Amino acid sequence: MKKMVWVLVFLIFLPSLLAVGVGEIPLTWTEIRSMYDWKKSISFPESESVELFESVLYSEGRLFFQTRDAIKQTSILVWNLDSGESTKLPWNEGKVTGWSECRGNLLIQTAKTLWELHPKTFVVQRKLPWPDKGKHWQDIVCLEKQIYRLAGNQLEVYNLNSGELESKISLPFASIQRMTKRSETELLFISSFWGNTIQVFSLKDQTSVRELKFPVNHRALFKLAVLPEDRFLIFDPLSKTYGEWKGMGSAFFPLTTSSLEVASGAKAYRFSPIQNQIEYQFQFTALVDIPETKFHFVLPRDGTHSQTLSEENLGPDTKLEVDPGGNRSLTLTVQAMKAGDTKEMTVYRALLTRYKIQWNIDPTWDLPSKQIGEEFQSYLLDDWFLKMNTDIVLEKKKSLIGESRNLKEILTKTQEYVASIPYKSGSFEPAPKVIEKNNGACTEHSYVTMALLRGVGIPSRLVWNYLPTESSKEITFNHKFVEVWVEGLGWIPMEPLAPPKSKPGVTHARHVVFAGLSGTSHPKIAGGDRLVQLSKESLGLAKKLKFKLVVAKVEAGKETEDKEEGEIPTKTNRALTKGEEILVP
């Protein structure tokens, strides 16, 4: 009868296993939270309906809707964002055809009258004769001493005190359907014909100054309201879209389910975190009598900005090692075992938080004029998988980059090209071959990126990581992408296979990062990409035992987002037995 040995593991808690690698730049993160509690269930009254093209009006934590009941009776419904309660206001002055906040009051437009009301008591402060524009909705905006009304593809400008028409402004857009105020100098224009694109219009210059892509269904934009501090709220009973976003430059970040973290100097933003307790659950069996044996485990990286680790614990008989690149590994020593002995243990445990991240690359930055420091030289070397001086790589680099020295332009053009290479499961072919055949897996995409960027003097490293399927209880999907070093920022991602794909420094795939490599393989793991391997001195025992590692996710709080934005095609890295190797993309 085989003897079964079960090991009760007492994990050793270490306050910090932080390892700072070459080029890592510490940052201070500031948290920005929503103004309101979105965890409360939102139940818009079923008896009330709203029209698609009519706007929602925001004032001091309250939202105003024009609603209709089952018998088409029109009312004004007020939703309190703090309490989540709604009330109806009496309104017998005719159908509302537009409204705006103005000097702390509300302006309500009807067919022949412009009403100014107190926002809380709804007492009429004054009313003005107003040009009859029929019964169709036309957005109005109050700015300083004027009222702007959207009329087709132009703005009508009225005097706030007299209500008289002063001028008209032609707009450089077609098919405008909604208008709202962003600031005292800028208006936002929305149209279902443009998708989820918002046009920003400068009143001073009377021209479009930029486009914004808002990360919601375009129909929900009709119920967009601008809050203080460049925050944006959407409360749309039609599409059931409710939430708050923070505008940072030309990007919008969700605040509804989690906070936004801004790095010092606005160098980067990270958001929509997912947190898991992870455990390395290790099992191995001796097939014959074996002497003392050692195993190497690759641990997640710490000191990166897209993932953080806390509450780290190591199992007994383990030793932590860190290489100059900041890559961490654990060595487990197992005493001699008899044939048939089986052991199970947890060798590592930690609380892992992963973020979507966006870095700000200054569009004025050029390639560094001075020589890169000696510590980065290994991240500029050529090798067999890159072949960056072959004709096909040089020609591709010339066609993409030319003589440009603008850093953002070089990174953008490189990533746009690499993202265009069709995905196909590969066999570790070098960059010239991948360019020639125009397909490859994540590893091949990474080789091409590194060959092009190292060739212009940009340090780059191969990032070995796993991509969890968030519904799975194990972390199993093996993946690769590239990070490049940017002075002042540190290492930033070049991820061409996960949303948004073509933007350097931005990735919405919350990777579990294990290593940043100057070469193409991990120094502790020879052949294949896996998280455990026998040590060099124990390799001779490979056929005398079998072992299996499961990286389990243990729920550590509600995930902030269940909906995935896209998956990268990968192969599953299943458990290995008897030293078996697996090739992955």
Q: Mean pLDDT over residues 305-319, rounded?
A: 94
Closest CA to 169 of 153, 147, 181: 153
CA–CA distance, 242 with 223 (Å, rounded to integer): 9
Contact 161, 145 (CB under 8 A): yes
CATH number of 365-518: 3.10.620.30
- Lowest-confidence segment of 46-55, 230-239, 516-525, 534-543 by average pLDDT: 516-525
CA–CA distance, 209 with 200 (Å, rounded to integer): 6
Helix (H) or strand (E) holding 362: none
Closest CA to 144 of 127, 158, 126, 130: 158
Provide CATH 3.10.620.30 ranges for the chain.
365-518
- Lowest-confidence segment of 122-126, 464-468, 493-497 by average pLDDT: 464-468
Q: What is the pLDDT of residues 87-107, one digit of tens each?
A: 998 888 999 999 999 989 999
- 428 falls in which pLDDT band (50, 70, 90)? confident
Q: Is 544 helix (H, G, I), strand (E, B) or coil?
A: helix
- 470 falls in which pLDDT band (50, 70, 90)? confident
CA–CA distance, 539 with 81 (Å, rounded to integer): 63
Q: DSSP labels for 547-574?
A: EEEEEEEEE-S--S----S------B-P
Task: Return the higher-pLDDT residue of 300 and 566.
Answer: 300
- 527 falls in which pLDDT band (50, 70, 90)? low
Contact 130, 109 (CB under 8 A): yes
Q: How much is the pLDDT for 497?
A: 94
Is the model's pLDDT at 196 over the cut of 60? yes
Q: How much is the pLDDT for 581?
A: 29
Q: How much is the pLDDT for 250?
A: 86
Reading the block at residue 443, the tokens are 């590893």
Alpha-carbon torsion angle 134, 136, 141, 142, nearest 10? 30
Amino acid at position 202, single letter: S
Is the model's pLDDT at 320 over the cut of 50? yes
Q: How much is the pLDDT for 579?
A: 34
Q: How much is the pLDDT for 16?
A: 45
Reading the block at residue 547, the tokens are 């072992």
Q: Mean pLDDT over residues 408-431, rounded?
A: 94
- 19 falls in which pLDDT band (50, 70, 90)? low
- Lowest-confidence segment of 86-95, 125-134, 572-581 by average pLDDT: 572-581
544 phi and psi angles, rounded to 5 deg: -105, 0
Q: What is the pLDDT of residues 331-372, one digit of tens each?
A: 999 999 999 999 999 999 999 999 999 999 999 999 988 888
Contact 235, 63 (CB under 8 A): yes
Closest CA to 76 of 104, 60, 55, 61: 55
Q: How much is the pLDDT for 475?
A: 86
- 457 falls in which pLDDT band (50, 70, 90)? very high
Is the model's pLDDT at 213 over the cut of 50? yes
**With 0-12 CB in 10 A as exposed, 13-18 as middle and 19+ as buried, what is 454?**
buried
Supply angle C-alpha 147, 153, 159, rounded to 5. Answer: 15
Query: Partners of 79 in the beta sheet?
Result: 63, 86
- Lowest-confidence segment of 111-125, 225-239, 256-270, 519-533 by average pLDDT: 519-533
Residue with tokens 């192969």: 571
CATH number of 35-258: 2.120.10.30
Is the model's pLDDT at 570 over the cut of 80? no
CA–CA distance, 251 with 361 (Å, rounded to integer): 13
DSSP class of residue 147 equals E
Helix (H) or strand (E) holding 401: helix 391-401
Q: How much is the pLDDT for 535?
A: 92
Provide CATH 2.120.10.30 ranges for the chain.
35-258
Q: Mean pLDDT over residues 217-229, rounded?
A: 94
Reading the block at residue 516, the tokens are 């940043």
Task: Return the higher-pLDDT residue of 260 and 467.
Answer: 260
Q: How much is the pLDDT for 565?
A: 39
Average pLDDT of the residues of the chain: 89
Is the model's pLDDT at 526 over the cut of 50? yes
543-565: b (≥16 Cβ within 10 Å) or e:
ebbbbebebbbeeeeebbbeeee
Q: How much is the pLDDT for 223?
A: 97
Closest CA to 58 of 235, 221, 178: 235
Q: Is 223 helix (H, G, I), strand (E, B) or coil?
A: helix
Closest CA to 252 of 227, 222, 230: 230
Closest CA to 482 of 510, 456, 447: 447
Q: How much is the pLDDT for 528?
A: 64
Q: How much is the pLDDT for 568?
A: 37
Q: Mean pLDDT over residues 69-79, rounded?
A: 91
- 515 falls in which pLDDT band (50, 70, 90)? very high
Residue with tokens 């919008």: 252
Q: How much is the pLDDT for 40?
A: 84
Alpha-carbon torsion angle 402, 406, 410, 413, nearest 10? -90
Q: How much is the pLDDT for 555?
A: 66
Query: Partners of 344 in the beta sheet?
Result: 283
**With 0-12 CB in 10 A as exposed, 13-18 as middle and 19+ as buried, what is 161?**
exposed
Reading the block at residue 375, the tokens are 């510590």
- 467 falls in which pLDDT band (50, 70, 90)? confident
- 580 falls in which pLDDT band (50, 70, 90)? very low
